[in-house]
Structure 1
Amino acid sequence: MLRLAVPAVAAQLINMLYNIVDRIYIGHIPVVGKTALTGLGVSFPILMLVSAFAAFSGMGGAPLASIRLGAGDRKGAEQILGNSTTLLLGTAAVLTVFFSLFKRPLLMAFGASEDTVGYALEYLSIYLLGTVFVQLALGLNTFISAQGKALTSMLSVLIGAVLNIVLDPIFIFGFQMGVRGAALATILSQAVSACWVVGFLCTKRSGLRIRLANMALKKEIVSRIAALGVAPFIMQSTESLVTVVLNSSLQTFGGDLYVGTLTIMQSVMQMVVMPVQGITQGTQPIMSYNFGAKNFQRVRQVFKRLLTVTMTVTITAFIIVSLFPGQLAQIFNDDQELVALVDRVMPVFFAGIWAFGAQMACQTTFMALGQAKTSLFLALLRKVILLVPLAILLPRITNSVMGVYIAEPVADILASATTLTIFLTRRKKLLPTPKD
């Protein structure tokens, strides 16, 4: 677990830097930093949708490939890789065209104002040109992890992230490109990462290789990828839906300043969620491989350790955020009014994050075991079934903008408790113990 999870955690943390570093630099642009940061925040739902489609093909295919490898079927695993690659390329083309045509009305619907939409359009107009690089870099990297090559997977992300950190200040401040410079640095960095990932999967260094013969779509393979990929897709795409609902409610009951708090808090949330996702991503191939080999005892042992680690991370995050909300806000912007507001609302927004580790551990285990329907329900539960209605209703019931912030912890705690209960009731059937 350590050998696979530590590089995966590092990869997720490094990948997080793409958005975080952009926000830090943009938030500190002289004079317009606060407004530009809010503009970038309202474009976040579109960025999440692009990533969600990468997860659909990548995370839908990678566990299936791991199971095939565990069963000794390398040819079947490579067919899954080939079909996933084709899906990623096709999705990239559709997304680029669609969002380029409708980005302004979408941004206004997502909570932008006339003051902030210009910055969002500047960023997206360039970012969307690199959609194909985002799809390939994120989607195919999961197949490197699926082989147990966690260090290589980490390096593929590290290369792009380091390049992004270097290019951001050059383009934003050196060339005085502002928000457009941040977008250009991001897509150039993703392009380098995509070349690294594709290059590796086309060489003998990879246990699974991309072959043209396997890229012709087959209905049976695509349906299996889709059945498992719909859960991670919904997990990420509903993050986009949640952001839209939260932004709209905050704009209605508070205004641009409150939308700005969400941009900062979502950045901090990424700092918590990304390490947890790295832990689960690194652990998933172990579960899938041993499940395919019918070594159920080892799968149970891995789950217990996974739950312990994820809960430790989320409880620690809860303590840090509760104690230092203002200091975390200052990382992204130094406007006193914005920092003071974040200092007040962040402990409320993160009040349920401690329970999130249980949901991630259980949901990842269902995915690793190929339980598509259960994974889909759990993906819908926290965001769509609980958080979205709560974010709409609570501010109206309380007649206060604080209702928007309260919705997050209520959804976190209810969803985590439900997920853990479902897993405990089904584990004996999924992972039977040998009879004496």
Structure 2
Amino acid sequence: MINERYEMLASEDIKKLIFKMSSPAIVGLLVQAFYNLVDTIFVGRGLGADSALGIAGISVAFPVQMLMMGIAMGVGIGGASIISRSLGMNDHHKAERTLGNMVTLVVISSIIFTILGLVFIDPILKVFGASESILPFAREYTKYILMGTIFFAFSAALSNTIRAEGHAKYAMFIMLFSSIVNIILDPLFIFEFNMGIMGAAVATVISQVIGCVMVVHYYSSNISMLSFKPQYMMPDLALSYETLSIGMSEFIFNSVESLVFILLNQSLLVYGGDMAIAVFGIIIKVFMLTLMPIIGIKHGIQPIIGFNYGASNFERVRETVSISNYIVFGMCTLSVIAVFLIPEQIFRVFSSDAGLIDMGVPAIKISFLMMPFIGSQVVAMALLQSLGKSKGSLMITLSRQIFFLPPLVFILPLFMGLTGIWVSFPISDFLGFVVAVILMKKEVNKLVVPTTQE
């Protein structure tokens, strides 16, 4: 089995390999994004007259979830990059040490995050844009989500290492099964048990616990190429630094997303009120659903790039990057077409509130204008992270999220009002694309295929 995975990563046709490695991740991530949508849909439908406030409450809580994702993906992608390259170099010892060290990093960071989040929950939510009317809904949802941080972070982080071994289908099954559980429990808790927005949060946490248990089963069985050894859980400062430096761009990406939410939600309150925050919450959920297939491609190509880079098969790395860029461009373009064809129907799925729909239709069209250019940014980050180039991937993150989007969100509404906030997204998406392409080409040009000596 292990030799088969080595052979697959080293020599299988790249198009087939990308499909084989990415499709399980895409399916799992789509289902995961769908259950996030389901949370919002059931809350919107279950709160009646308060549907807009419930949706706004989940929207305000979303940055907290982004920070949780940042912890998981910062450790997960950094560790997976090391594991992929270590396996490519036949260094099982380092791969197993990395796995144990990742568990320690996830547990410590999750406990700290949960304690701080629960202690300062109200101030945090107010900073993220919760008005007095939104705060009770946001608080009720967020406090339970925080309690599940360690389960979510553990399963999300180690799913990356499962994919790094070339076992993408098992990682997909974890996401698929836990997400289906969430989708089943949502209406049960919200409607049958009359738990409202709290029911959506509790259902989410239970599904995360199940995902965590499935990851533990994977590493305690004979399925994995690696053995989980408790002695490797002792903190290794050098390995922790390497893991976090590679995954730092992913952590910063999610952290900066949360900080940008502060500016966005505060601006939305000023220029559009609670209704604008609810609209933005729906747009973000739809955006995440359309982005998940692109993230799935990223998850699929990272072990291919990392393994072949470690094995000095540079031509396969170049081919993987090239084919992936074409794939993600096509996928992003299809999502834009869908948004432009049925924008009103998209909003009606969440709520029948006429004001919400009227504000939301033009907003989502503007926000998605430059979606086709987002795909290459994701591929560029996958390449740089897989090669261990943390500074380059960090630059891609900072360019859109710090250098471009916040100034636009601050300046454009002064002249265009609420529309200026929506316009900020496509402009920053395109500028971020320019930066990503420059950095990606620079690294690809360095991958010179060694000539055979006669």
In the TM superposition, residue 419 of structure 1 has moved relative to its aligned partner by 1.0
1:259-278 correspondence to structure 2 within 5 Å: 259-278=277-296
Partner of 1:254, secondary structure, is: helix
Partner of 1:204, secondary structure, is: coil
In the TM superposition, residue 399 of structure 1 has moved relative to its aligned partner by 5.0
Question: Percent of counterpart pairs with the same letter?
Answer: 32
CA distance in 2, matches of 1:257, 1:309: 36
Aligned to 2:11: none
Following TM superposition, where does structure 1 have runs of at least 4 consecutive aligned residues deviating by more than 2 angstroms? Answer: 433-436
Confirm whether residue 16 of structure 1 aligns to residue 49 of structure 2: no
Aligned to 2:233: 215
CA distance in 2, matches of 1:390, 1:67: 39
Aligned to 1:293: 311
CA distance in 1, matches of 2:262, 2:382: 26
1:421 to 429, 435, 438: 438
2:198 to 168, 180, 184: 180
Aligned residues: 434
Aligned to 1:375: 393
Confirm whether residue 126 of structure 1 aligns to residue 144 of structure 2: yes
1:406 to 419, 423, 445: 423
CA distance in 2, matches of 1:94, 1:418: 34
CA distance in 1, matches of 2:249, 2:260: 16
1:341-420 correspondence to structure 2 within 5 Å: 341-396=359-414, 398-420=415-437
1:300-319 correspondence to structure 2 within 5 Å: 300-319=318-337
Equivalent AA in structure 2 for residue 161 of structure 1 = S
In the TM superposition, residue 435 of structure 1 has moved relative to its aligned partner by 4.2
Confirm whether residue 279 of structure 1 aligns to residue 297 of structure 2: yes
Given that residues 392 and 439 in structure 2 are in contact (C-alpha distance below 8 angstroms), is that contact kept between their aligned partners in structure 1?
Answer: no
Given that residues 11 and 157 in structure 1 are in contact (C-alpha distance below 8 angstroms), is that contact kept between their aligned partners in structure 2?
Answer: yes
1:108 to 116, 126, 142: 126
- Alignment RMSD, CA only? 1.2
Given that residues 329 and 339 in structure 1 are in contact (C-alpha distance below 8 angstroms), is that contact kept between their aligned partners in structure 2?
Answer: yes
Given that residues 253 and 401 in structure 1 are in contact (C-alpha distance below 8 angstroms), is that contact kept between their aligned partners in structure 2?
Answer: yes
Aligned to 1:25: 42
CA distance in 1, matches of 2:261, 2:59: 9
TM superposition score normalised by structure 2: 0.94
- What are the Cα deviations for residues 293-347 of structure 1, in whole angstroms up to 9, with x where unaligned? 0000111111111101111111111121122211111121121110111112111
Equivalent AA in structure 2 for residue 73 of structure 1 = D
- What are the Cα deviations for residues 91-146 of structure 1, in whole angstroms up to 9, with x where unaligned? 11001100001111111111111111100111112121111111111111111111
1:7 to 24, 29, 50: 24
Confirm whether residue 321 of structure 1 aligns to residue 345 of structure 2: no
Equivalent AA in structure 2 for residue 27 of structure 1 = G
CA distance in 1, matches of 2:141, 2:227: 35
CA distance in 2, matches of 1:72, 1:422: 29
- What are the Cα deviations for residues 35-71 of structure 1, in whole angstroms up to 9, with x where unaligned? 1111111111111101111111111111110100000
Given that residues 34 and 289 in structure 2 are in contact (C-alpha distance below 8 angstroms), is that contact kept between their aligned partners in structure 1?
Answer: no
TM superposition score normalised by structure 1: 0.97
Equivalent AA in structure 1 for residue 96 of structure 2 = E
Confirm whether residue 235 of structure 1 aligns to residue 253 of structure 2: yes
Given that residues 97 and 232 in structure 2 are in contact (C-alpha distance below 8 angstroms), is that contact kept between their aligned partners in structure 1?
Answer: yes
CA distance in 2, matches of 1:202, 1:214: 15
Confirm whether residue 433 of structure 1 aligns to residue 453 of structure 2: no
Equivalent AA in structure 2 for residue 191 of structure 1 = V
Given that residues 202 and 211 in structure 1 are in contact (C-alpha distance below 8 angstroms), is that contact kept between their aligned partners in structure 2?
Answer: no
Equivalent AA in structure 2 for residue 182 of structure 1 = A
Partner of 1:142, secondary structure, is: helix
Aligned to 1:144: 162
Given that residues 140 and 198 in structure 1 are in contact (C-alpha distance below 8 angstroms), is that contact kept between their aligned partners in structure 2?
Answer: no
Confirm whether residue 65 of structure 1 aligns to residue 67 of structure 2: no
- What are the Cα deviations for residues 66-91 of structure 1, in whole angstroms up to 9, with x where unaligned? 10000000111010011011000001
Equivalent AA in structure 1 for residue 445 of structure 2 = K
Structure 1: stretches of 5+ with no match in the other structure = none
Structure 2: stretches of 5+ with no match in the other structure = 1-17
Aligned to 1:38: 56
Equivalent AA in structure 1 for residue 432 of structure 2 = A
Given that residues 313 and 449 in structure 2 are in contact (C-alpha distance below 8 angstroms), is that contact kept between their aligned partners in structure 1?
Answer: no
CA distance in 1, matches of 2:246, 2:355: 45
Aligned to 2:274: 256
